[in-house]
Amino acid sequence: MITLTGLTKRYGPTLAVNNLSFEVRPGRVTGFLGPNGAGKSTTMRMVLGLDRPSAGEVTVHGRRYRDLREPLREIGALLDARAIHPRRSARDHLRALAHSNGIPLARVDDVLELVGLAKVADRRAGGFSLGMGQRLGIAGALLGDPGIVMFDEPVNGLDPDGIRWVRELMRTLAGEGRTVFVSSHLMSEMEDTADHLVVIGRGKLVVDAPIEEVIGASAHTRVRVRTPQAARLAELLAAKATVHRESDTALLVAGLDADAVGDIAHAAGIGLHELTLKEASLEQAYLELSQEHLDYDGTQRRPHPGLAATKEARP
């Protein structure tokens, strides 16, 4: 588990990370979202001890990264696929990492096979494509068979087959009980992969919630209900929700979930022919959050409707 407590980072007058507190728990894929400059990479660098916090702390399995004796056995990370000596082969790069952390050299061939680089293992990494470099970075992250993996934009440069492979890899790792923490700008991939989302804006926590809550709270999420008594049901729902008449018998309802709409209809003795949840996409939900929470005008950010957005807002 990764635990952030009041984590803050300043670069001179710039506040890059602002009092972040959240946990990245095992057994699920946690997506880390935010616009460019929001502080995601800086946060990940502080997890690995590459940047020192100005205030607060971050721990890995309850310890600071610098106190881990063999860190690659605890947490594996891909932050920059280009951070490899260009004249060193993929195999030699991984051997050096293994030697520094007391990892058996046999593990090098295992991860090269896993990421699909076994046939080019003796080629110099400087000649690798961006996608191949990403695969080598993932191999390095998995080298110590760690309980925590952390990826910053892991599908950058990968073809569709590679993107699917990374998605399945992360789901497999989480299914094994590992902690998976991944940042990405690809909302469709996060929607297919993540169980939980942490969203930050200008270094400050905006949302820390299961992905279904984030999508469910979107104004684009609707309930479609069809009934011969649509006009009467619309009147009953209007006090609690926004109702749009699709036709004489069909309504689109925003602001209530399907259970609540069904309960209101049942209490009034209104028979339903259809009751369907039409969920928003993660991209739509994220763009709403961007408009409401990431507008850097110095004013107080409003909570996202229907969503306990931050730990401070939770009971």
* pLDDT band (50, 70, 90) for residue 35: confident
Q: Is the CA virtual torsion 149, 155, 157, 158 positive or negative? A: positive
Express each pLDDT in 233-287 by its tens digit: 999 999 999 999 999 999 999 888 899 999 999 999 999 999 998 878 888 888 8
The answer to whether position 200 is within a domain reads: yes
Express each pLDDT in 198-246 by its tens digit: 999 888 999 999 998 888 777 778 899 999 999 999 999 999 999 999 9
Burial (CB < 10 A; 0-12, 13-18, 19+), residue 171, is middle
* pLDDT band (50, 70, 90) for residue 313: very low
The answer to whether position 122 is within a domain reads: no
State whether 164 and 261 are in the same domain. no
The answer to whether position 128 is within a domain reads: no
Mean pLDDT of 102-114: 95
The answer to whether position 201 is within a domain reads: yes
Mean pLDDT of 68-90: 91
Angstrom distance (rounded) from CA 22 to CA 28? 15
pLDDT of residue 292: 56
Which structural domain, as residue segments, surrounds residue 234? 222-278
pLDDT of residue 175: 96
State whether 9 and 70 are in the same domain. yes
Alpha helix stretches (DSSP H) within 115-153: 130-142
The answer to whether position 62 is within a domain reads: yes
Angstrom distance (rounded) from CA 47 to CA 152? 12
The answer to whether position 127 is within a domain reads: no
The answer to whether position 205 is within a domain reads: yes
Count: domains in the chain: 2
- Which distant-in-sequence residues (6+ apart) come within 8 Å of 159 by Cβ? 131
- Which distant-in-sequence residues (6+ apart) come within 8 Å of 206 by Cβ? 34, 199, 200, 289, 293, 294, 301, 304, 309, 310
Mean pLDDT computed over every residue of the chain:
88
* pLDDT band (50, 70, 90) for residue 196: very high
What CATH number should be reported for the domain holding residue 267? 3.30.70
- Among 39-48, 53-62, 78-87, 171-180, which is the least confidently predicted range? 78-87
Of 171, 195, 215, the position where a domain reaches its end is: 215
Angstrom distance (rounded) from CA 100 to CA 35? 35
Mean pLDDT of 87-96: 94
State whether 188 and 157 are in the same domain. yes
Q: Is the CA virtual torsion 256, 261, 263, 265 positive or negative? A: positive
Of 199, 215, 231, the position where a domain reaches its end is: 215
The answer to whether position 43 is within a domain reads: yes
What CATH number should be reported for the domain holding residue 21? 3.40.50.300
